[in-house]
Structure formats: structure tokens, C-alpha cells
Structure 1
Amino acid sequence: MLNGCNDAAGEAGHMVIFADGEQCTCGRKGCWEAYSSATALIRQTKEAMGKNLDSAMWTLVDGDINKVDGRTAFNAMRKNDPAGIKVVDTYIHYLAMGITNMINLFQPEILCVGGGIGNEGESLLEPVRKIVNQEHYSVHSVVQTRICSAKLGNDAGIIGAALLDE
């Protein structure tokens, strides 16, 4: 595990991927987390719904924007809703950019996408892999990073925290 001199290393979500971009909860602008966290996906979905009043996303949440969750845009995408497709494509783009940066920095053998979004399976991973394979600098290396879904879903954080205490 990487700790750093201040025991604060490894905050990959706070690497800037879009200069002067969206405000992050950490106070900075353009952090990866501001574009590819569950909170970001929900924000992006709500913004798209506000601009697309005929979107299938409204039906999926029974007309109540407060019912939007991380699945809403993906479910709309599966219904071929243009607004849902655009939200998912944008989300996947930024997720893939951050993953590309992680691969370029660490060259891991495997990289797992965790949290509830990992439950999207191949509808998420296939386009992420396509972008990553076009962008990472070790594309011609013999060993390629395998990108998969983590198995713990939304429980990953709490299980990881419990294991840190051991």
C-alpha cells in the first residue's frame, strides 16, 4: 500500500483530469472524482434531465428528480434514450481517462472498477477498455492491464476500512 510521507498518498480521485473543470468536494476543480464518481454521475444525469424534459430518464424516476441514482442514465441508455446515452458516454470517457492515467503511472496487472458502478459489467467495461487501449502508452507491451469489475460493489469501502484495522 502506498502511504506517502504524510500518509495521504493514493488519492487518485483527486488528480486533475480537466483543468479548471467541475468543482470537486475537496475544493479543487477538475478532479477525476468530480467526473467519474457515483455523485458525479448522478449530477450529470440530473443536469441532462433538466435540459431534456422528454428523456426516458424522467419516466425511470417516476418524474421525481430526487429518485435519480447511478443506474438511471445506464437504464435510459439501454432504452436508447439519446440523453441517457450522452450522459453514459461522457461518464465513461472521463472514467477511462483516469484509468488510463493509473495504468500509465503504475502498470498494474489488473485494475478493478469498484463501487456500485461496477455492477454495470460489460456495458461499462467494454467501452472503457476500448478508450484505454487507444490512450495508454504501453499499448504495444507484452503484458496488458486487465480491467474488470470489483466483486464487492458498494461494500468495498467499508470492507477495506475494516481490513486496514487488522
Structure 2
Amino acid sequence: MLAGNNARFTIGIDMGGTKILTALVNSHGNIVRTTRYSTAVTEGKDRIIEQITQSAHEVSAGLDLGRDIIGIGVSCAGPVDPENGVLVQGTNLGWDNAPLKSILEDRFKLPVYVENDANTAAIAEHRLGAGAGSKDMVYVTVSTGIGGGLILGGQIYRGANFAAGEIGHIIVEIDGPECNCGSRGCVEAVASGPATARRAAERIRRGETSAIIQMVEGELDKVTGEIVYRAAANGDPLAGEVVYQSGRYIGVALASLVNILNPEIIVIGGGVAKAGELLFKPLRENLTIRVMRSQREKVKVVPSKFGSYSSVMGAAFLPYLL
């Protein structure tokens, strides 16, 4: 239960560069209705706001916004100033310093809360998901990028400039490949979905054989992380080795977090997390051997409960928390 009996519903909006996922959520934390749009990035800011507006009206059809909806939460990829409800850097949307709170409050005449998408996912998993009941939790998302949200002392930890949780930029290979952030050897640069795909394709180009070749009909530029994980699940040796190495890298990065933060639990989400033990086994092995002995048996690593809905669920929880 998230709120008292007088509370009815909230609306969560997960706003990304490829999709806008909107959900109507009741006070028990259950999704009642959802809509999904492909984000109209090329059509500009006004069109994106229209999509958000339309999606919110669709999920709340038949309800009185002022009476039945207590607030709207929005999750965004990129740095967010939650105090002012501003998306500071919306690279995927082509929109920096976006005053989402003021725009949407003017539209809906409801309280609107804006938060980073990894933080909202962490909130969802901590409140009602895989990390429920914990006091200190780390949420990690592994997909196109690697990011995270930190729950410390039962509260989301944002840092001095709202930039905490950039797990993907922990360096695991000093002279490794260049990362989008400008550094080298970040775990995102070697173990994200695209990085996993790149390492597999590089080995094939050097002459190694793999079922991946048939899966992409010889077009190695079409190799994705999902394809590599699928090949590994089907027993392909090269794919299995590449996935194992990605799991090792992530385990090394998480060991640093465990040694610093001493969390009770690490929740892994994102598309790549669907790989299950192919990823979790090497991750856990390398995490275990690199953390302080006193923590080895205490920290748990588990998959997320809400999967691809973690961020939108957490967004829907924001009106109860802020």
C-alpha cells in the first residue's frame, strides 16, 4: 500500500529517446492501464509534449483528473534537477534544460514530479520490487548503456549535483576502449549491449566462427547485444565467452560499489539482464572475489521484479514520496 484510502491513482510517464511509456497506477502499486508511443524526436519539443499529454489522457480516460489523480511523475534519461523539475541534459530528446514540471503542471493542473529514469527504477524496486524491505540498495540497469540508482538509508541518493549513480563510468580497464563520456575503459564501454556486440563482431572479423554470422546473414554491422546473448543461450562458444567477459566486467565495477557503499542488495535491470545466469554467474563470481571478506556472504544480487516497467512504476510513485 502506497497511500491511504482517499488516494486513488497516479500517472507515471517514462520519457525516453525511442518511446514514451505511460501508466495509470493505483494506490496499491498496481498498473491499471498503459499506453506506448514512439517518441517523435525529429518533430520537435512541442510534439513530444503533445504525445505526453495525449498518453496521459488515454490512460486516465473515464476519470476526473482533478478528483481521481493525485499527481504525475515523469522519468527521463539524463541528469535531472528534481527540485525544479527540469531535465538538465536530454541528449536523447535533443532538449536541454527542459522545464517539464512547469509545462506539464500548466497542462494538467496537477502536481508534477520529474526524476532521472534510473532513480525512478530504483525507487520502484525498493518500494515494492526485488529490493523491498532493504535499507541500502543499488539498482543497476544494463542495456544500451549502463546506469544506476542508489538507495541509501531508505532514500534515493542524488549527490551534490544530482549526478550520483553513474555506475557505467566506473573504470574497469585502464587502457580500454574510449567511452562516450570521453574517458577510457568505463564498464559501459566494455560491457553494455553495444559493447558486447562490438567485441563479438571484432572476433568474427578476425576469423573466428560463430552462429552469430548466420543470425545476421553475414552482416556484422547488424550484430546487437541481444543477438550475442541469444547465441550464447543456444550454446555458441564465441558468444558464451563474450557474454562471460561482460559479466566479469560488471562484477568488477559492482565490487567497487559494494566496498564503498556496503549495500544489502544489488538489483539488476535493463534489457541485457534478461540473459539470466549467462550474465549473473560471472558477475557474481567476480563480485565475490573482489569485495571485502566481511561482505561476501551478505550482499545479494538479484534480477529486477518490474523489468522494463521499473522506471514508469517509480515515476508513478513520485507523487507519494516528494
1:87-135 residue CA offsets vs partner (Å, 9 max, x unmatched): 1121111011111112112111110111011111122212221221122
| Closer, same or farther: CA 122–165 of 1 in aligned 2, 3 Å | same
Distance change in 2, residues 1:133/1:67 (3 Å): same
Q: Which residue of 1 aligns with 2:174?
A: 19
Letter in 1 for 2:219: D
For 1:150, give the aligned amino acid.
S
1:110 partnered with 2:260? no
* Aligned with 1:41 (options 196, 210, 222): 196
Establish whether residue 151 from structure 1 lines up as the match of residue 310 from structure 2. Answer: no
Structure 1 residues 55-104: Cα deviation after superposition (integer angstroms, max 9, x where no partner): 11111223232432222222332344332122112111101111111211
The 1:100/1:142 distance shift into structure 2, 3 A limit, reads closer
For 1:19 and 1:164, the matched residues in 2 are separated by 39
Relative to its length, the structure with more strand (as a share) is 2
Deviates more, 1:14-23 or 1:61-70: 61-70
Which residue of structure 2 aligns with residue 130 of structure 1? 285
The C-alpha deviation readout for 1:38-65, integer Å capped at 9, x for no partner, is 2211222222222245311111223232
Q: What is the CA distance between 1:154 and its match in structure 2?
A: 4.1
TM-score (norm 2): 0.46
Q: Gaps spanning 5+ residues in structure 2: where?
A: 1-155
* Corresponding residue for residue 28 of structure 1: 183
Q: CA deviation at 1:143?
A: 5.7
Distance 1:80 1:22, change over 3 A: same
Deviation for aligned residue 1:141: 4.3
How many residue pairs get matched? 164
Instruction: Report the counterpart of residue 82 of structure 1 in structure 2.
Output: 237
1:55 pairs with 2:210: yes
Equivalent pair of 1:117/1:153 in contact (CA under 8 Å): no
User: What is the aligned partner in structure 2 of residue 95 from structure 1?
Assistant: 250
- In 1: Cα distance, 2:277 partner to 2:240 partner: 15
The structure that is helix-richer by fraction is 1
Name the stretch that deviates more: 56-65 or 148-157.
148-157
Alpha-carbon deviation of 1:20? 2.7
Q: Match for 1:121 among 276, 283, 287?
A: 276
Instruction: Give the 3-state SS of the residue equivalent to 1:71 in structure 2.
Output: helix
Identity of aligned residues (%): 30
Cα–Cα, structure 1 residues 76 and 93, in superposed 2: closer, same or farther, change >3 Å? Answer: same
CA contact (8 A) 1:77 1:84 kept: yes
**Retained in 1: the 8 A contact 2:246–2:279?**
no
Q: What runs of 5+ residues in structure 1 fail to find an aligned partner?
A: none
